[in-house]
Chain A
């Protein structure tokens, strides 16, 4: 992994809210095509880190580079254009819109036609719409959600909504996918499906994934690299095996006993 290209480079990033140091000088390198997991106890700063990468927060210190460009102060829409997509810990879909429409919104930044031509649905706008629909249908097929295609998202189960949200992120054709606890609150079967999808996205579509997850079994199983945060600091970083051996990590996060799972 060491000689591979670094896709995302986080350098000494810090952010605080009032007196709380959410991130306290985090540096992290995410290799291209890897699944890199960020773990840590509640409040360790994992979601803040994702928010800094996706542009929801602007770090007070440090820099973030994606594909060699500095994106530290770039706006979220511009980052979407760089093909950085994310899912949210608490689902953020348009509840009253159908699955299909939710996925179509994911392709918004890829659409070129203007309001007028789209409104007329004529010529290039029509061709474009058909091409986008085709891309979305491929995602529907990939995520096995054809049977709920026309259903309003709000009517779907939680596990299914998570899947739709992943679909919307994929609709952007991302090169970097940020997944904030994609498996939280799922039963084991849904988790298994989600793991399979993440692996397929990573392997078949070659998307670099940054994953926040609490299920240690899953993290250790599928990650190429694992970074461990505690109180806004990085206390460990390496392959799952290295992290498992790291005494500081064992003490701070996994407990003093043998790690479970």
Chain B
């Protein structure tokens, strides 16, 4: 292409010129029917809204905040602001009014575009705190008939103003778009931030376009492909797809009818690409398991017979090993009889690839998708680098890694374990936060604040934890207790785990077995037991858990491996203040409470006598006396634990 398509609106213009009314840009289900907008129609909607904003006083550099479910109006408003040289600010639709007030005011938004009465009411409530907002634009008029406030204006009315403005000032839109520069800030993406106030990451047109183009180089899509936009558009992953990739590739973007109909709409559309956090993938697995359990005998039997074959095939693929002809045939049969039907129900049939990121996904979930023939890949990235910086390549998928950097990207791990990234997608800094920006972008690298290491065997990145949460052994080597514990908890036999090692020579662990699954396991092997405490100290149970730990150890760097462990005699419990009510470990408290056990683990004794007070729900306390067996794990090069 001869002209420089360095901004998103320029790309929209180019798409409209190329595809006109021939191709569908957006599709939304409304009144039970998928209503389509062509590229030309998309451009016209953006143009009218943009000129409407200009007619109301929008100028280059101004901001528009947007709140709402996934609808064409959302992305249209975004591109309208950007066409006039402005910036869009996405806000999560379920934010509290006061969180919205902070972001809208901090971002200096001049206009706010919202979906419906619910959001209008929120905004009216905080009107005093957002004095810079001149007009509030809404696009779903239901229930707003009686609102007479001049502050409010109906979206189509703004577009009407825009059409009138366009007639009076022909060529204005085109001039404004031509004036746009790749270095203009396209979006402000506020990150929740676990501590302190949200920070607004400034992402330029160049950033978003770079992301769209580079991911296309690795995982190509075509203009005939479909994508269903159902995660909040304020989230960077959705922005990356809905703006960067959409305007780079020109596939069709679909919007669900209502948030409640996503599952049904997913099936109707059958998208070619999906990007979701682990929670969504885990939900789908659970749903399949429930449905299978409820299905007829024939279906269930087929599933149970063919799924192990599918797992074998998937495992062979991961290990780059050949698959036997028999398994190949059975897998084909499974696909024909069962898997294709299941995938069709879930809307995963046409999926070329799917991404997960943001948190660890259990290996079992991962294997499930690959067994079903869904190409699920792990990614690593941040808002500050437009979502994806590192990802699995199709032929190199591993459970515990997140892959290698995208083309044009560089990665480095600092001696303190921090992951640094560099690429054309690295953001411009945080809006109105000089000091933070300089610190994050020091030396031309994006300082992610995440700790990780490069896996020696595969040269792929492994992300451990937030840097501030990692701990150090006496030798100075880092490890993340959270990371180890989460990996252990992926085992069906381990309910809770506590890793210890800060300032020590090595890592030790305290384990809670899962009473139900270990109990079942024991019953199947005719191991008699009475109580939880009794079961937890059975030698065979300790062997079982040792196998699980060794399996996890195999994926961990040398220093972070658990060398010694005990199974605790009681479950960690929120009533004993060992867990929070949301079942997060209260680490400092547990370390202190179990100090005798921990010193025992670092000592040489084979058994740790323990007295502990148990508080019952009615407030009564008793003392339990017992002996915990310490198990030491010989360090081996690699242990292939038994498959579960």
Contact = CB atoms under 8 A, between A and B. Distances in A.
B32 A137 contact: yes
A142 B140 CA distance: 11
Given A142-B142, A203-B145, A147 B32 contact: no
B32 A140 contact: yes
Contacts of B30: 141
Contact of B146 (A138, A144, A203): A203
B264 A204 contact: no
A29 to B, nearest CB: 25
B260 interface: yes
A200 B143 CA distance: 6
A142 to B, nearest CB: 7
A145 to B, nearest CB: 9
Nearest to B260: A147
A140 B264 CA distance: 16
Contact of A138 (B31, B260, B264): B31
Given A137-B32, A141-B30, A146 B142 contact: no
Contacts of B142: 142, 200, 204
B257 interface: yes
B541 to A, nearest CB: 44
A144 B31 contact: no
Given A137-B31, A138-B31, A147 B145 contact: no
A142 B142 CA distance: 8
Interface residues of B, number: 13
A56 interface: no
B265 to A, nearest CB: 10
B59 interface: no
A158 B30 CA distance: 26
B261 interface: yes
Interface string A141-176: 110101101000000000000000000000000000
Interface in B30-79: 30-33
Interface in B74-120: none
B143 A146 contact: no
A146 B258 contact: yes
A73 interface: no
Interface of A is mostly: helix
Interface in A83-138: 133-134, 137-138
Given A146-B260, A147-B264, A141 B31 contact: yes
Nearest to A137: B31
Contacts of B33: 137
A134 B143 contact: no
Interface string B388-421: 0000000000000000000000000000000000
A196 interface: yes
Chain A interface bracket (under 10, 10 to 19, 20 to 34, 35 or more): 10 to 19
B98 to A, nearest CB: 22
A147 B258 contact: yes
Interface string B253-284: 00001101100100000000000000000000
Contact of B32 (A144, A149, A199, A200): A149
Nearest to A142: B142
Which of A134, A147, A149, A204: most chain B Cβ within 10 A?
A: A147
Nearest to A134: B31
B286 to A, nearest CB: 19
A144 B258 CA distance: 8
A196 B30 CA distance: 21
Contacts of B260: 146-147
A196 B32 contact: no
A14 to B, nearest CB: 39
Interface in B117-164: 142-143, 145-146
Nearest to B258: A146
Nearest to A100: B32
B261 A146 contact: yes
A204 B144 CA distance: 9
Interface in A191-248: 196, 199-200, 203-204
A207 to B, nearest CB: 14
A203 B144 CA distance: 10
Contacts of B261: 146-147
Contacts of B257: 146-147
Contacts of A133: 32
Contacts of A204: 142-143, 145
Nearest to B31: A137
Nearest to A140: B32
Contacts of A140: 31-32
B551 to A, nearest CB: 41
Contact of B143 (A138, A147, A196): A196
Contacts of B145: 203-204
Nearest to A147: B260
Nearest to A197: B143
A203 B261 CA distance: 28
Nearest to B32: A137
Contacts of B258: 144, 146-147
Q: What 3 A-B pairs are tightest by C-beta distance, nearest first?
A: A147-B260, A137-B31, A147-B261
Interface of B: 30-33, 142-143, 145-146, 257-258, 260-261, 264
17 contacts: A137-B31, A137-B32, A137-B33, A142-B142, A144-B258, A146-B32, A146-B257, A146-B261, A147-B257, A147-B258, A147-B260, A149-B32, A196-B143, A199-B143, A200-B142, A200-B143, A204-B145
Given A141-B31, A146-B32, A203-B145, 18 more contacts: A133-B32, A134-B31, A137-B31, A137-B33, A140-B32, A141-B30, A146-B260, A147-B257, A147-B258, A147-B261, A149-B32, A196-B143, A199-B143, A200-B142, A203-B146, A204-B142, A204-B143, A204-B145
